[in-house]
Structure 1
Amino acid sequence: MKSILRLIKIFSARIILLLSVICLFLQSPVQAQTFNFDGDREKEVMDFQLIKNLIIIPLYINGKGPYNFVLDTGVSPMIISDPSIIDSLNLGPLRVTKLSGLGAGNDVEAYLTDQIYVRIGHSTISNIPTAILKEDLFNLSSYLGTRIYGLIGYYFFNSFVVKIKYPAKRLFFSLPETRVKKKGERIPLEMISNKPYIKATVNPAGLEPFEAKLILDIGASHAISMESYQDKPFPLPAKTISANLGVGFTGLISGHIGRINSLKIGSTQFNNVLSSFPDYEEAAAKTMLKERNGNLGSNVMKHFDITFDYADFCVYLKPNKFYKRTFEHDMAGMEVYIETGKPNHYLVGRIEPGSPAEEADFHSQDELLSINFKLIQEYSLDDVDMLLKSGNGRRLIIEIGRGKERLYKLVILRRRV
């Protein structure tokens, strides 16, 4: 239980990876491998799940599955985060390496393999470079409320022109040579270590607006993370709250949550954008790319219909019906995760100091039984997450189980940043 509670302290579900060892692995000839369609097919459409801003798609691996994976532009090799499937994949001898990354702590061990064959819809790839973690460090299943086995990114996006429609929860992908209409404003991409970077104008409180270099990372559930400014810690705005911002390969990433005045991508501007500010030594100081300012996540990108065209080094952005949505943080100040079972159990993780949840006397490991007299099983974890962000001053009556007791708590949501 302690390990679960440590791991669910995740503001961003996206695992910020620094795979310097795997870069050597990717120098092999398999780096040129791409997904290809069966027969004469040139394009495909598939539905996806959208949970806490993250895109979940089904994969078949070595003929087994389906396995839920996060679609993530922020990773290069495929990452299998749940090693429980190793025995079913019929793999030969595996190489072991140590991975370094963001967060406080030591390097972790993983297996490296190119014995993986993947199917997504009617497209397949053989020998995709893959890292299999020896231990499920991130416990994404508890965070997202559904079984998650890993993350896939570069090899899918590099194989196709990929269009994402967040409101419809539909994924379109076609061969680069296929003629498809690309709607929206064209934004140049710079590919560095198989990851896309864009330039955007950031206007933080206390600083002049400047052109920031940001990794475009749809596998990060946050809006934006500002990591460094002129190779130094990014200055904090006057109003912030302390928070655990995520889990890197080597442990928790701590920092603050606040807001920047505005963010402009091409001709589209967002105001009063929620931002995380990770501690410099746990994040920016460990990245290989020193001129990078931060990470642009899916809580911004979901405001667009997005078309990725890696072959042409660009992305097309067209504002969608989510465009006018505001950026909100959890107004209760408590993290909720799922302990899977029949039924699932919704448990309280970390409670933020000075938050409405602390004031209402919630405890870590309290079990949620109902919200506003509706049984908790009638909510998805995503529903609960949205309720806790649903409005400054909103009142929620939450029934909890604490040992043998059943208690009712009144939580008055409060915007704290």
Structure 2
Amino acid sequence: MLAKYSPVVIICLRKLMICLGLVLTVFEAKAQEFAFRRDQQQKQSISFKCIKNLIVVPLYVNGKGPYDFVLDTGVGPMIVTDPSIIDSLNFSMLRKIKVSGLGIETVEAFVSQNISARLGNAAMDHVPTAILKEDLFNLSGHLGIKIYGLIGYNFFNSFIVDIRYNENRIIVSNYGAKIKYRGEKIPIIVENQKPYVMASIEIPGGGTVNARFLIDTGASHALSLETLDGTAFPLPAKTISANLGMSLSGQIKGYVGRVKKFKLGDYTFKDVVAGFPDFKTISDKIDLTKRNGNLGADMLRKFNLQINYQQGFIYIKPNSLSKVPFEHDMVGMVIYLDQKEYKRLLIGEIDPNSPAERAGLCQDDEIIGVNFKAVDFYSLNDLTEMFKSKADRSIIFEIYRDKQVFFKVVKLEKRI
């Protein structure tokens, strides 16, 4: 069922935050840091795949792999979503925690510090790890490639991490190595293994407020605005109802709209697409006192970032993506690869009165062709970009439903 929920906020919004808060209390103090295996090595460049704005890196786990993991500033301990990659894993010998969250009564996770990981030449033994017995996020289905987990704080805290979104690579450097910083320096605060930054945002009705944002490379959106002055963040005049995604904490309902201005350091962006999760639902379960919202990768990718956790700052420099306008899905539906049969591209939830609904597309339809090309011709990332490409563009879907084939024409519509 999780596969049918919107990937707009693929991992974000409390992604395991409740769970990992508990995990931190059960880990012993034998965790170390990532370090280069070669004594004289000071830095390394590592290529990554950017899929729906997320950084996917090749990670070796317990000497085997590589396995595709999401590099995510929004998580603390490493998360393994597919336990089959860990040989001789005996769940009965691992400490188990039970977590409740929004829309989910009980979720089991297991914790371990007997797992090693390596990214490039940077390796760490005894990585604090939360292991899920199943992929609750269906990351593989939403990203179109097999994803085995997420890695965050322990890697970012071990190095100065230079993320070059426009080059699809990161450069990791030892603290103390010679670094040429580029762009503007902005202070950050790392609390509970997560980085926060201050930015200003124009609110509806005029006026600008300074707000605290979680820096989240593992969230595909640009902004999530959760709270202001202890209550819901004010909505723009024009919004659409939206399912903002699925986290361990449950399904997140809310709205999508645009904020007129968002300023990070000296850089200002206009008409930014933002999600507004339902305040009552999340505030009943989640502590929102630490932040006003979440700064995701659709915004972060417009910069090349140099992240320094230990000294508490980032450098940001606009790259070639900085002028790309923010756009929302103009079709109004979720697509995903069937988790058991990855060659089947299925339609999940469809927004009411959306172009997809008006064209006669239905939930659970299988897409077998797009614009007279077999669906295998496209990646999920290709289709996601196509759905945001240009208002009034027509897309022809070849659909398999009830043992029949239909052709449906969807005209893209800018809904916000």
- Same fold, judged at TM 0.5 (above): yes
Can you give the 5+ residue segments of structure 1 that lack an aligned partner in the other structure? none
SS at match of 1:300: helix
SS at match of 1:262: strand
Deviation track 1:193-245 (CA, whole Å, cap 9, x = no partner) reads 01000000011223521000000101100100000010111121221111111
Give 2:11's aligned residue. 14
Give 1:226's aligned residue. 225
Deviation track 1:303-359 (CA, whole Å, cap 9, x = no partner) reads 000110112100110000000111111100011111267871211111100100000
Answer yes or no: is 1:83 the counterpart of 2:83.
yes
State the Cα distance separating 1:404 from its structure 2 match. 1.8
Q: Distance in 2 between matches of 1:241 and 1:341?
A: 32
SS at match of 1:286: coil
More displaced stretch, 131-140 vs 333-342? 333-342
The one-letter code sitting in structure 1 at the alignment partner of 2:396 is I
More displaced stretch, 90-99 vs 383-392? 90-99
SS at match of 2:105: coil
Asked if 2 retains the 8 angstrom alpha-carbon contact of 1:62 and 1:89, the reply is no
Asked if 1 retains the 8 angstrom alpha-carbon contact of 2:222 and 2:274, the reply is yes
Asked if 1 retains the 8 angstrom alpha-carbon contact of 2:2 and 2:136, the reply is no
State the Cα distance separating 1:92 from its structure 2 match. 8.2
Give 2:61's aligned residue. 61
State the Cα distance separating 1:100 from its structure 2 match. 4.5
Q: Distance in 1 between matches of 2:367 and 2:146?
A: 20
Give 2:152's aligned residue. 153
Asked if 2 retains the 8 angstrom alpha-carbon contact of 1:162 and 1:171, the reply is yes
How many percent of aligned residue pairs carry the same amino acid?
44
Can you give the 5+ residue segments of structure 2 that lack an aligned partner in the other structure? none
Asked if 2 retains the 8 angstrom alpha-carbon contact of 1:91 and 1:115, the reply is no
Q: Distance in 1 between matches of 2:201 and 2:144?
A: 33
Answer yes or no: is 1:179 the counterpart of 2:178.
yes
Give 1:25's aligned residue. 26
State the Cα distance separating 1:99 from its structure 2 match. 2.8
Distance 1:14 1:143, change over 3 A: same
What is the TM-score of this pair, normalised by structure 1? 0.95
Give 1:330's aligned residue. 329
More displaced stretch, 92-101 vs 76-85? 92-101
Q: Distance in 2 between matches of 1:91 and 1:83?
A: 10
What aligned pairs does 1:117-132 form with structure 2 within 5 A after superposition? 117-132=116-131
Distance 1:315 1:323, change over 3 A: same
Give 1:48's aligned residue. 48
State the Cα distance separating 1:80 from its structure 2 match. 0.9
Distance 1:190 1:4, change over 3 A: closer
State the Cα distance separating 1:374 from its structure 2 match. 1.7
Give 1:213's aligned residue. 212
Asked if 1 retains the 8 angstrom alpha-carbon contact of 2:367 and 2:398, the reply is yes
Distance 1:295 1:384, change over 3 A: same
Give 2:396's aligned residue. 397
Q: Distance in 2 between matches of 1:207 and 1:89?
A: 56
Asked if 1 retains the 8 angstrom alpha-carbon contact of 2:396 and 2:409, the reply is yes
Asked if 2 retains the 8 angstrom alpha-carbon contact of 1:106 and 1:250, the reply is no
More displaced stretch, 293-302 vs 87-96? 87-96
The one-letter code sitting in structure 2 at the alignment partner of 1:22 is V
Q: Distance in 2 between matches of 1:100 and 1:263?
A: 34
What aligned pairs does 1:125-140 form with structure 2 within 5 A after superposition? 125-140=124-139
State the Cα distance separating 1:91 from its structure 2 match. 8.0
Asked if 2 retains the 8 angstrom alpha-carbon contact of 1:331 and 1:389, the reply is yes
Asked if 2 retains the 8 angstrom alpha-carbon contact of 1:77 and 1:128, the reply is yes
Give 1:191's aligned residue. 190
Asked if 2 retains the 8 angstrom alpha-carbon contact of 1:72 and 1:218, the reply is yes
Measured on the aligned residues, the alpha-carbon RMSD in Å equals 1.7
State the Cα distance separating 1:93 from its structure 2 match. 1.7
Q: Distance in 2 between matches of 1:215 and 1:285?
A: 20
Distance 1:201 1:75, change over 3 A: same
Distance 1:343 1:231, change over 3 A: closer
Asked if 2 retains the 8 angstrom alpha-carbon contact of 1:30 and 1:129, the reply is no
Answer yes or no: is 1:115 the counterpart of 2:114.
yes
Q: Distance in 2 between matches of 1:232 and 1:95?
A: 37
Distance 1:343 1:53, change over 3 A: closer
Asked if 2 retains the 8 angstrom alpha-carbon contact of 1:203 and 1:210, the reply is yes
In the alignment of these two chains, the number of paired residues is: 411
SS at match of 1:312: coil
Q: Distance in 2 between matches of 1:357 and 1:328?
A: 17
State the Cα distance separating 1:257 from its structure 2 match. 0.6
Asked if 1 retains the 8 angstrom alpha-carbon contact of 2:79 and 2:151, the reply is yes
Distance 1:412 1:292, change over 3 A: same
Q: Distance in 1 between matches of 2:283 and 2:276?
A: 10
The one-letter code sitting in structure 2 at the alignment partner of 1:58 is P
More displaced stretch, 10-19 vs 318-327? 10-19
Answer yes or no: is 1:376 the counterpart of 2:375.
yes
Distance 1:89 1:180, change over 3 A: farther
